[in-house]
Amino acid sequence: MISTEQAPGIYRHRIGDVLVTVLHDGELTISPSFLQNTTAAEVEALMRAAGRRPPFNTAVNVFLLQWPGRTVLVDTGYGGFGGPTAGRLLRNLQEAGVSTADIDAVLLTHIHSDHAGGLIDADGLAVFAEAELVVPEVEIAFWYDDANMAALPEFRHRGFKFARQTTAPYADRTRRFTGTEPLPGIEAIPLPGHTPGHTGYFVGTGADRLLIWGDIFHVPDVQAARPEVTLPYDLDPARAAKTRLEILERAVAEDMLVAGMHMHFPGLGRIARAGAGFVVQPQVWSSELPPG
């Protein structure tokens, strides 16, 4: 019998004293007609130009950060909320040699199902028994505000219920942070628009720095070329597009290494200008890491 099983979805990269491990949670399929501020024909043309053919899968990545004696998970993937093509975080975490009890803190970029779903198991209980849950104050306040929910159309209400369902088991160990240092060695940068509290996280210092920028891209092959393209997941599409353009320009200016939850696994790369837009230059596989 020929196996069609892939190698475990794990990729390690060192940033200063931090070992970053990208963990593949799976993928979701996005239809070209789902994207906004564009046409399905333009999306298909951009995908073809990037060598893509249907079905157009988008990766779901999670980032594990390890310092000596300290382990942080940035987002948790879909858990049981993403169907059969997602929810592989725990298997890949185990392959990386880390147990759920080893996680000291779970830091969220925002509270959407593909980022917070892995917080809870099938019984609705906390997966990370020892972890502090660290969430931007703006983000958690937004999802727990009934007035915000009432002000939005019905189809948005599920997101509020979901945000509360996944974070509630951590209520007695949730830290809602303001400011720029959610955890030692991590610098927060607000990237609002996709959600009100959508936040990116820098690790490392100086030239050896990585920005984990959450959902700046959902479909990188399209949104790098056309940063104005948005998705219905964006709560404030105009702000999301503005934030994307600003951080893309900064990434080029500072030659920044960036990582995204929906950039092609292993989700690391740099940004270059290409025509009127940008292009992702993916990190090339490295079989040797500098010692920590």
Interface residues with Zn ion (CB under 5 A) are 114, 215
**Cβ 191 to Zn ion shortest distance, Å:** 12
**Cβ 195 to Zn ion shortest distance, Å:** 10
**Cβ 164 to Zn ion shortest distance, Å:** 18
Nearer to Zn ion, 86 or 183 (CB): 86
- Strands of the 186-190 sheet, one edge to the other: 186-190, 199-205, 208-212, 257-259, 268-274, 277-282
Nearer to Zn ion, 25 or 114 (CB): 114
- Partners of 63 in beta bridges: 22, 74
Nearer to Zn ion, 188 or 216 (CB): 216
Nearer to Zn ion, 27 or 114 (CB): 114
**Cβ 65 to Zn ion shortest distance, Å:** 19
> Do residues 75 and 113 touch, judged by C-beta distance below 8 A?
no
**Cβ 118 to Zn ion shortest distance, Å:** 12
Nearer to Zn ion, 27 or 215 (CB): 215
